[in-house]
Amino acid sequence: MDRITFIIFVLILALILAPMSGSVVVFSAEVPPAPPSNFFSSIVPALELSGALGKEFFLQIRNQVESLKLCLSRNDKKILVLLSRQTIYLIEENEVVGVFPTLTAARGMETPPGRYAVLAKYRSVTMEGQIGTPLEYRVENVPWVLFFIDRTYAIHGNYWKPLNYFGKEPSATGSHGCIGLTPEDAKVVYDWAEVGTEIIIQE
């Protein structure tokens, strides 16, 4: 690959991976953030649109991306979150191996149902959001974090809520969208889950 092609490739990746303005998470972690969840879907069209990249080089990148996606999908573990029960189930080889009360989003800041995967794991991060609004928050040393939608939604330990909030109706006492566990339970889930573990969130 000649120098001009390499520069163009670096610029494309920089545009793809550049953080969005107004990011709601500030990291204080041991490793850099994982690529956003739309990384796989965004990189291929971007490479296809760049006529400067040779066809052989593009195919090599696409094969690497597909191999990584396949690797992440080969995981027998699942995390099931039932919002109506405010409960997390750890499932391995179709057997429930753990059950924990959780605390999801307050009214108006719903935890999004759907199928996701653990994108990154952090022992501790600082989270902040809703800057400039009455809902503004900043929480330091959030423990045992499993991100599953970009760097915005996560399963994590929650040390600032009373224990009797977990497993109860969260409409008035819940989070800004994340799925909270007691720090002790979050450590168990963090240690058990792997990057690529499927997360299923249902009503």
- As beta bridge partners, residue 103 has 180
Beta carbons within 10 angstroms of residue 51's beta carbon: 8
| Residue 160 in this model has a pLDDT that exceeds 80 | yes
13-27, 65-79, 85-99: the lowest-pLDDT one: 13-27
Q: What is the pLDDT of residues 101-153, one digit of tens each?
A: 999 999 988 899 999 999 999 999 998 876 666 567 789 999 999 999 887 89
Long-range pairs, 88-96, Cβ under 8 A, ≥24? 88/155, 88/179, 88/181, 88/185, 88/189, 90/189, 90/192, 90/193
| Residue 47 in this model has a pLDDT that exceeds 70 | no
Instruction: Return the pLDDT at 84.
Output: 94
Are the CB atoms for 121 and 199 separated by under 8 Å?
A: no
Output the CA–CA distances (angstroms, integers) from residue 185 to 15, 88, 192, in the order listed: 38, 10, 11
What is the distance, to the nearest Å, from the Cα of residue 196 to the centroid of all Cα atoms in its chain?
10
In CATH terms, the fold of domain 77-202 is L,D-transpeptidase catalytic domain-like (2.40.440)
pTM for this entry: 0.65
Domain boundaries in the chain? 3-22+32-73, 77-202
Residue whose C-alpha is closest to residue 202's, from 57, 47, 86, 121: 86
**pLDDT top residue among 14 and 93:** 93
Instruction: Return the pLDDT at 39.
Output: 46
